[in-house]
Amino acid sequence: MDAIGLAYFAAGIGAGLTIIGGAAGIGKLAAAALEGIARQPNAAGDIRGAMIVAAGLIEGVTFFALIVTILLAIK
């Protein structure tokens, strides 16, 4: 394999791991938030707001990692 092929391979592996990690993080976040809302229905608004902020941060990190893998692939 040449260097270009290895870069494409690394970008593919990196993109896959990024998506898996982001999906696992948001899935765990949503499960915990729903459990918290089920236990304390009065705090649903606060939990939902914190969940949206945390999900946005997870999505931001996932997007950043995907940009890095795309740059690795096209460089």
CATH number of residue 14's parent domain: 1.20.20.10
pLDDT band for 1, please (50, 70, 90 cuts). Answer: low
Residue 42's domain spans which residues? 3-74
**Burial letters for 53-69: b for 16+ Cβ neighbours within 10 Å, e otherwise?**
ebbeebeeebeebbeeb
Give the total number of structural domains in the chain. Answer: 1
Q: If you average pLDDT over residues 36-43, what whole number do you get?
A: 94
Name the pLDDT band for 28 (thresholds 50, 70, 90): very high
pLDDT grade, residue 25 (50/70/90)? very high
Mean pLDDT, all residues of the chain: 91
Closest C-alpha among 10, 3, 2, 6 to residue 65: 10
How far are the Cα atoms of 5, 15, 16, 21 from residue 24, in angstroms, in the given order? 29, 14, 12, 5
pTM of the full predicted structure? 0.80
